[in-house]
Structure 1
């Protein structure tokens, strides 16, 4: 690992951090962004620096969230893989909170179904996505 720094979960800060890294390190192979917005910013900085990213690019991009725009970015060839952080379990969590507030017992463990998605499959999967 060459470095790590927060992109504050925003596209602008992700771009700023990536611009700094590109100035400091000549040979960056992989960028891991903890959310899609930071990945989008990093991609913008990488392209502005004249480099490429994605499955056929200079820099591998791994991101987290797996929102529709990230699937579009995978299809465009900019993101290699995106790991889901599923927001659709919010109503289930709200139900758990309501049950606890009402004095009811709940299961101590509740698993959230999430996936890992690769650029090669993004075009097929995108139409099935809820977010």
Structure 2
């Protein structure tokens, strides 16, 4: 039986890597710095799994639905209607950032860059 439950015979043991011989606490600190505490996994076109950081709803506010408004008149607001129909529920803002929908958020480019980094790291090595 392999010493690590995730070890696979087809997996490269990464014997040349300086990362894996490090103490687990240091590796976990690196993971915590790179990968956010909450992520969304979702399917894109052609059933490809995508990873996106959760920017989450503001927990200290009452979420009445009016925070989804983009214009003054809620009766004719197509963006608000899309947000209310979102299958992501209160994480509609996470959906807009992940899928590149809606207006620009101040942190959108930071989240997109982080998602690219996070996806690249998770795809780079099965052992991670």
Using the size of structure 1 for normalisation, the TM-score is 0.22
Which protein has the bigger strand share?
1
Q: Quick check: which has more Rg, 1 or 2? A: 2
